[in-house]
Structures are given as structure tokens and as C-alpha cells.
């Protein structure tokens, strides 16, 4: 049984996520929290496999909370559930397992939970070290994402990629967020390693 907590200052999200998760086998929602202090205390006393964390909350935000969680040595998988795309790169700096944009679809949530459950059962760390093996992707890279990943591998930065593809730099950043999420990596080097491992780039 995978043990889950929800940290979101909106009670409506507690209800939505709890109902969605209840439809999935092997998931137990242990608690829901509206603020981070009690959530952090709970984590120090209980084993939790998966955290669903909002970013924009009153008081301490989800990113700062997640940094504290990591600094405490807690290895629970963190999934950010938020309305804001612009924090995604920062989220992977705290080893986020996934980054889901609201409104949440049941299929998207199911895929994330199944992947997390599979890694827990197999004993695989959610945040792979560079050079580890990568299996088939649940959510394959699009042609554009593969193209951008190849340009990253070629040494281009975001601005250069945007110029090369005649796209806005912000659009490139969004694509990179999706690439990191799908490959389950936290930086460009790991993304390149993963891309080469699964054969989508040279």
C-alpha cells in the first residue's frame, strides 16, 4: 500500500484529489494539510511514500516546504500540483517526482501514481543518478521535445534554441519542463543521458 499525504491550502483540492486517489488500487491517503508546519511534523513521525504539494500557499510556499523536507533527509516522492507553469524548473531542483498543472485529469494522476508505485515496488529511486538505465516512457516525447533535447545535447542554451527554432524563449522553457518531467530527470546532463539511453537522440 502506497501511503500519500496532500498539502494544499484549498480544502476543495483535498476533496478532489482524495476522490481521484480513492479510485486507484494500492493507495492510502493518510492525511490532508492546509499548511506546511503540521505536514512537516507529520513527516517526521510517519513514513510517507508520496506527497502531493501545492506551490502557491499562504505562509510557506510549496517550494520552500519541499526544500525543508529534502534538507531533513526525507526521501518521499514529491508531486507538485499547481496552476503555475513557471515554477516547474525550480521544482526539479528539489527533486520533484512530477509536476502536474491544474485542473488535474484522472488519467494524468493515474499515470503518475502508477509510475511512483512501480518504482517503490521495484526499489528504484525516483530521482535517478546520471548514468542509470531508463526504461520505456509512459508518456513519450513529442517530435518537438525530441528536437529540443537534441539541440540541448548539441550544447545550445535556451536562447539559442529559441532562435534556431524561431520560437519564444518561454516556449522553449515550457518544453524543457515537459522533457524533464517525462524523463524523470532534474537537469540537462541527465536529460541528455536519458535521451541517449532510450535512443531518441544521438
Same domain, 54 and 83: yes
Question: Which residue from 111, 20, 48, 25 is spatially nearest to 33, judged by alpha carbons?
Answer: 48
Confidence label for 65 from pLDDT (cuts 50, 70 and 90): very high
Q: What is the pLDDT of residues 118-172, one digit of tens each?
A: 776 655 444 444 334 455 565 788 999 999 999 999 989 999 999 999 999 989 9
Rg (C-alpha) for the chain, rounded Å, is 17
Q: Do 112 and 190 fall into the same domain?
A: no
- Shared domain check, 149 and 114: no
pLDDT of residue 73: 84
For residues 15 and 110, membership in a common domain is answered with yes
Q: Is residue 132 part of a domain?
A: no
- Residue 179's domain comprises 143-197
- Angle, helices 143-153/158-165, rounded to nearest 10 degrees: 130
pTM confidence score: 0.66
* CA pair distance 187, 176, nearest whole angstrom: 10
In the chain the beta strands, taken as DSSP E runs, fall at: 2-7, 27-33, 50-53, 77-82, 98-101
Find all residues with CB under 8 Å of 157, minimum gap 6, and list them: none
CA pair distance 37, 133, nearest whole angstrom: 37
Q: For 79-116, how does the pLDDT look when each residue is reduced to its tens digit (9 = 90+)? A: 999 998 888 878 877 888 889 989 999 999 998 998 88
Lowest mean pLDDT, pick from 7-16, 58-67, 117-126: 117-126
Longest dimension (CA), the chain: 51
Based on the domain organization, do 94 and 19 belong to the same domain? yes
* Separation CA 39–CA 182 (nearest Å): 28
CATH code of the domain containing 185: 1.10.10.10
Tally of structural domains, the chain:
2
pLDDT digits (tens, 9 = 90+) for 19-60: 999 999 999 999 999 999 999 999 999 999 999 999 999 899
- 184 domain residue, yes or no: yes
- Residue 137 inside a domain? The answer is no
Q: Give the CATH number for residue 12.
A: 3.40.50.2300
Grid coordinates given for 8 = 494544499
Considering the domain boundaries, does residue 131 fall inside one? Answer: no
- Residue 135 in domain: no
What pLDDT is recorded for position 135? 53
Domain closes at, from 122, 154, 171: 122
What is the reported pLDDT for 174? Answer: 87
In contact, 21 and 113? CB cutoff 8 Å? yes
Query: Measured between alpha carbons, how far is residue 161 from residues 61, 153, 176 in Å?
Result: 32, 11, 11
CB-based contact 31:58 (threshold 8 Å): no
- Residues 149 and 196: their CA atoms lie apart, in Å, by 10
Q: Where are the extended beta strands (E) located within 8-161? A: 27-33, 50-53, 77-82, 98-101
Amino acid at each position: 500500500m502506497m501511503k500519500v499525504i496532500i498539502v494544499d491550502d484549498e480544502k476543495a483540492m483535498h476533496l478532489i484529489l482524495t476522490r481521484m486517489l480513492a479510485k486507484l488500487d494500492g493507495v492510502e491517503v493518510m492525511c490532508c494539510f492546509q499548511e506546511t508546519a503540521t505536514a512537516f511534523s507529520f513527516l517526521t513521525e510517519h513514513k510517507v511514500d508520496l506527497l502531493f504539494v501545492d506551490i502557491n500557499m499562504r505562509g510557506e510556499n510549496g517550494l520552500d516546504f519541499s526544500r525543508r523536507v529534502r534538507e531533513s533527509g526525507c526521501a518521499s516522492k514529491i508531486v507538485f500540483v499547481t496552476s503555475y507553469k513557471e515554477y516547474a524548473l525550480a521544482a526539479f531542483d528539489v527533486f520533484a517526482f512530477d509536476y502536474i498543472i491544474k485542473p488535474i485529469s484522472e488519467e494524468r494522476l493515474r499515470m503518475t501514481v502508477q509510475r511512483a508505485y512501480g518504482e517503490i515496488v521495484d526499489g528504484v529511486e525516483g530521482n535517478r543518478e546520471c548514468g542509470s538505465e531508463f526504461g520505456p516512457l509512459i508518456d513519450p516525447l513529442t517530435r518537438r521535445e525530441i528536437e529540443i533535447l537534441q539541440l540541448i545535447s548539441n550544447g545550445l542554451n535556451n536562447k539559442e534554441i529559441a532562435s534556431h527554432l524561431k520560437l519564444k524563449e518561454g516556449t522553449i522553457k515550457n518544453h524543457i519542463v515537459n522533457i524533464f518531467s517525462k524523463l524523470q530527470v532534474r537537469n540537462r546532463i541527465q536529460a541528455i543521458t536519458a535521451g541517449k539511453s532510450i535512443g531518441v537522440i544521438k
